[in-house]
Structure 1
């Protein structure tokens, strides 16, 4: 598979947020496809944009942590005892999983980190899709690998690396 070849993406974008100034659907498709390029030829993915209340409930229910987080990823895994003998052309073989992105948190973090909202939204989509593709940051080496991949994808999309120090206009450092 070529890294230059865009993935075929079936994206279900669910907007369950009252936040204003959300990026358009085409941006979510572009960001997710960029994360998939060279890693998967086809994928079906759901991205659900939520407010803090739903984000906090999901974070508590699935991770045991209080408060909303920026992005949660829920990979699709067929139960091991279910042998469907899937043909690679079967649409169920394309199911990647679901991302839940909390709009309130993304917008707040962008302000706090002196990043454009667009860049931070792109980062959350790329980060979440990479988690669905089994990237993680549990160890230092895994984190370094994932951060390098994210920075490369975001750079190709025209965004700065989210992991480089950024300086706000008031001269305070933000990471």
Structure 2
């Protein structure tokens, strides 16, 4: 994961998830969003660190990566707030706890 993060983002550290959007149509107008690469070791460590159930942490990371493939980001505060609200809403709809504690969400 560290190698991929460096190769594609020039960050010489490991990360929990990387998303690689494709943005093109596939057979019969089905859209392929792209690829998500998940780091099992980091996700397990974060589950413990943030006191989250492992299944919930995995669900959150898949949702987070999918939102990146759909064009969401968290580089700016406004973008971050929007993305986190969507993540909270999806996680609650799947009967998981909210991963973020935000005002007005």
TM-score (norm 1): 0.55
- Give the Cα separation in 1 of the matches to 2:10 and 2:29: 30
Match of 1:124 in 2: 61
- How big is the shift at 1:94? 1.6
Aligned residues: 102
Query: Which of these residues, 37, 50, 59, is aligned with residue 100 of structure 1?
Result: 37
- How big is the shift at 1:66? 1.7
Query: Could you say which structure has the greater relative contact order, defined with CA pairs below 8 angstroms and 6 or more residues apart?
Result: 1
- Gapped runs of 5+ residues in structure 2? none
The CA deviation string for residues 7-53 of structure 1, in whole angstroms up to 9 with x for no partner, is: xxxxxxxxxxxxxxxxxxxxxxxxxxxxxxxxxxxxxxxxxxxxxxx
Q: Does 1:113 align with 2:59?
A: no
- Give the Cα separation in 1 of the matches to 2:28 and 2:43: 31
- Give the Cα separation in 1 of the matches to 2:85 and 2:47: 20
Q: Does 1:140 align with 2:83?
A: no
Query: How large is the Cα RMSD of the aligned pairs?
Result: 1.8
- How big is the shift at 1:138? 1.4
- How big is the shift at 1:127? 0.3
- How big is the shift at 1:67? 2.4
Q: 1:66 to 1:156 in 2, by over 3 A?
A: same
Match of 2:10 in 1: 64
Runs of 4+ with >3 A deviation: none
- State the structure with more CA Rg: 1
- Gapped runs of 5+ residues in structure 1? 1-54, 79-85, 166-175
